[in-house]
Structure 1
Amino acid sequence: MALRVVVLGQVPATLPEQLAHLPASLDVSVLGYHADSTSARAALSPVPDIALVSAELADMSGFAFVQSLSPSERPTAIVFASSREEDAVHAFELQATDFVPVPVVADRLSDAITRARQQVLQVALLRTADELQRLIGEANASGNLELGALFTRASSNGHANGNGNGNGHAPAATIEQEESADARRRKRASGQSTGTLIPSTPWRAARNTEHSLARFTRDEAEEPVLDLTQDDGGRASSGHGDARPLRVLVREGRRTRFVPLSDVDWFEADGNYILVHAAGEKYRTRGTITAIESALDPRQFVRIHRRIVVNMDRVREMSPLPGGDGLLMLGNGSTLRLSRTYRSRVR
């Protein structure tokens, strides 16, 4: 899957050559360089996979430009570049995938594009899983769609909706069929076996990811649960006394999900709601960050900001920032700001 990259803003003269010499395994296709906001916005239609954005465009700041983008205009991954270290804080406040210091070091650029690629593939895979689930539900309701047609449609729809705005592309599904559709129909008519349809590895991974977020077995029904929707802001329930919760209950309209805490990357306050970031998905439910902090094991779930509690099992690196703040790099490539107020809690 070739990554479609656009470069926006006033970038170092060495950057085109550095991008051209990225490892072939990253499979990068640079679509163009755009210095001002007008041409930069035009370059986002169709939406690319990755935008490499300078802190300064010719007519406005790169941060203001990204902030002005609507969700349908925003690329799946954004990497900022700046000569000012303090700009890293602003970059990650805008949910950037990574921040590259200028002058640009080739290895650091390669690391940033690698993280961006991981994010693009993960988002595409999860959207394909969602599309597959929808199509299977449609097939069950209508009773007249063959599984092979489902995989074909999910693949094409995932390609059209890979980045959530109709302009991306998702990993294609490969369907291995033992016989043609006509042969299968003839065998069904005669009562013979019709063979099998085997989805490729990306499809299996997508289905496993979806199932991991929703698994709820009879044994798990006895586990303590963190319910953030209670009047007290959150509590562990199930008759286990003071036992720490193992799952978090998330209500989405009429749906209820039981998300294993082992899948959670971090919790983020959003007004009167909590965003639960888990296995590449994001769930929004009522609750407070204080309730989460008090209910969970403080050795594993640590508050790093007034709005964020992170699963320390996910943290891979910590880098200092000016003023005493820091950046935490998670195993999935996400980055979170560590406030100096909470820095002593991270060991």
Structure 2
Amino acid sequence: MNLPRLRTVLVDDEVLARLALRQALASHAEVEIVGECGNADEAMQLVQALQPDLLFLDIQMPGMDGFGLLHELSPERLPLVVFTTAFAEHALRAFDANALDYVLKPFAQARFDQAMARVLKHWQGLHAGHGPLAEQPAAASAGSGYAQRISVRSGERLHVLATDDIDWIRADGNYLHLHVNGARFLHRDTLQHLLAMLDPACFLRIHRGIVVNLARVAEIHPLFQGNAEVVLRDGTRLTLSRRFRVGAMAALGLRRSAPARA
């Protein structure tokens, strides 16, 4: 597979650390360093201007730290991320932030190459199916323009979920809880962005932070003040807010009760 080079930005407040990164990357021809900077504010500007594919990111920097930077960046164009730091205690939080890897300073070339192998494997996965042989059998499903699958990181694993298998979704800031066949996956994205990818004929927003798969809806129970309760086939009970009730009634084929005649 002929992959494009990874356009890469280095973010570290220490000049020597950025030099060490350049030296470690020298043997990786698949990487093109397009920029470097020393703090999160500059990094945000570079990411917005250059839209890199890969970010080598220090954690502890003056002002905003690396985690703060990821929180501020738009999930619509979030680069692949490898954290580079001298502090091992941040490792768990780094993977929670969906980083591909976490490399300790000073860099050992063998460990760095291992991280790059992981990056390249993910990069290949992102480009899998873009060739002409893969496009033809996928044309029927891709013709709708809506996502058929979503990749979700869990620890060091990447789960590929079919969107049809999602039962319901709950938003939590810049993260989403995807409920799939009794399991729950934490996915870094906004509800608004994911909704734009999902088929509106299959997924319905019933609350400011809740979306359901219409195929999973079993019952609707009216509540007070125009609200209602949506019961899914697995017994999950979710609130249908008054704000979204009209759209839900149309999507579910419901009609308002007609007034009784004398």
**TM-score (norm. length: structure 1):** 0.40
User: C-alpha offsets along residues 205-252 of structure 1, whole Å, 9 cap, x if unaligned?
Assistant: 5667x59xx8xxxxxxxxxxxxxxxxxxxxxxxxxxxxxxxxxxxxxx
Take 2:153 and 2:117, find their aligned partners in 1: how far apart are those partners?
25
Matched, 1:19 2:49: no
Matched, 1:39 2:42: yes
Q: 2:219 maps to what in 1?
A: none
Is there any run of 5+ residues in structure 2 with no aligned partner, and where?
A: 169-177, 187-262
Take 1:28 and 1:58, find their aligned partners in 2: how far apart are those partners?
27
1:285 maps to which of 156, 163, 166: 166
The question of whether the paired residues in 2 share the 8 Å contact of 1:18 and 1:106 is answered with no
Task: State the shift of 1:119 in Å.
Answer: 1.9
Take 2:95 and 2:42, find their aligned partners in 1: how far apart are those partners?
24
Matched, 1:113 2:42: no
Identity %: 19
SS at match of 1:13: helix
Q: 2:223 maps to what in 1?
A: none
Take 2:58 and 2:120, find their aligned partners in 1: how far apart are those partners?
19
Task: State the shift of 1:11 in Å.
Answer: 4.5
Aligned length in residues: 167
Q: 1:72 maps to what in 2?
A: 76
Structure 1 pair 64–106 and aligned structure 2 pair: CA distance change class (3 A): same
Q: State the superposition RMSD in angstroms.
A: 3.9
Residue identity matched to 1:99: Y
Task: State the shift of 1:85 in Å.
Answer: 1.7
Structure 1 pair 207–97 and aligned structure 2 pair: CA distance change class (3 A): farther
User: C-alpha offsets along residues 133-173 of structure 1, whole Å, 9 cap, x if unaligned?
Assistant: xxxxxxxxxxxxxxxxxxxxxxxxxxxxxxxxxxxxxxxxx
Structure 1 pair 84–307 and aligned structure 2 pair: CA distance change class (3 A): same
The question of whether the paired residues in 2 share the 8 Å contact of 1:37 and 1:57 is answered with yes
Residue identity matched to 1:278: V
The question of whether the paired residues in 1 share the 8 Å contact of 2:86 and 2:105 is answered with yes
Residue identity matched to 1:52: F
Q: 2:211 maps to what in 1?
A: none
Is there any run of 5+ residues in structure 1 with no aligned partner, and where?
A: 130-201, 215-252, 269-275, 294-305, 309-347
The question of whether the paired residues in 1 share the 8 Å contact of 2:88 and 2:104 is answered with yes
The question of whether the paired residues in 2 share the 8 Å contact of 1:98 and 1:112 is answered with yes
Structure 1 pair 54–2 and aligned structure 2 pair: CA distance change class (3 A): same
Take 2:75 and 2:119, find their aligned partners in 1: how far apart are those partners?
17
Task: State the shift of 1:79 in Å.
Answer: 0.6
SS at match of 1:78: strand
Q: 2:255 maps to what in 1?
A: none
**TM-score (norm. length: structure 2):** 0.51
Residue identity matched to 1:22: L
User: C-alpha offsets along residues 93-149 of structure 1, whole Å, 9 cap, x if unaligned?
Assistant: 1111111122221121222122222322322345xx4xxxxxxxxxxxxxxxxxxxx
Q: 1:56 maps to what in 2?
A: 60
Residue identity matched to 1:286: D
Take 1:92 and 1:25, find their aligned partners in 2: how far apart are those partners?
24
User: C-alpha offsets along residues 240-297 of structure 1, whole Å, 9 cap, x if unaligned?
Assistant: xxxxxxxxxxxxx9x997x9xxxx99897xxxxxxx9328x7666116869547xxxx
Take 1:286 and 1:204, find their aligned partners in 2: how far apart are those partners?
32
SS at match of 1:7: strand
Task: State the shift of 1:89 in Å.
Answer: 0.9
Take 1:79 and 1:14, find their aligned partners in 2: how far apart are those partners?
14
Structure 1 pair 12–46 and aligned structure 2 pair: CA distance change class (3 A): closer
Q: 1:82 maps to what in 2?
A: 85
Superposed counterparts of 1:313-324, under 5 Å: none
Residue identity matched to 1:124: H
Structure 1 pair 102–123 and aligned structure 2 pair: CA distance change class (3 A): same
The question of whether the paired residues in 2 share the 8 Å contact of 1:100 and 1:108 is answered with yes
Take 1:124 and 1:98, find their aligned partners in 2: how far apart are those partners?
20
Matched, 1:97 2:100: yes
Residue identity matched to 1:204: L
